[in-house]
Amino acid sequence: MPLQILNAGVDTTGVLRKALEAALPGAEIEVSSASPGHFELRVVSKVFEGKTRVQQQQLVYKAIAHLMSGDSAPVHAIDRMQTLVP
């Protein structure tokens, strides 16, 4: 596997949070990172109501797609995602 050099000093956790806040207003968002490029998300939002888990996760992925595309994307993978209705 090619070693990915990630831009040091860029606060990807913060960028992720901002992207989620913009797409899911009023959501409660927790972002953590276990290793560079790998993140865990916990998102609580009313928007998820009545949706299947796949649809909920699709909403999250859609909000952060621009951070995950391309070979040098700052977000390599979401290792764990929890989507909850308040």
Minimum distance of other proteins from residue 41's CB (angstroms): 12
How many helices (H) and strands (E) the chain has is answered by 2, 3
Minimum distance of other proteins from residue 22's CB (angstroms): 16
The three-state secondary structure class of 83 is strand
Q: Which residues of 23-44 are buried (b: 16+ CB within 10 A; e: fewer)?
A: ebeebebebeeeeebebebebb
Q: Binding other proteins by CB under 8 A: which of 6, 23, 29, 78?
A: 78
**Using rule CB under 8 A, residue 6 touches other proteins:** no
Q: How many residues bind other proteins (CB under 8 A)?
A: 12
Residues at the site binding other proteins, with contacts judged by CB under 8 A:
53-54, 57-59, 61-62, 65, 68-69, 77-78
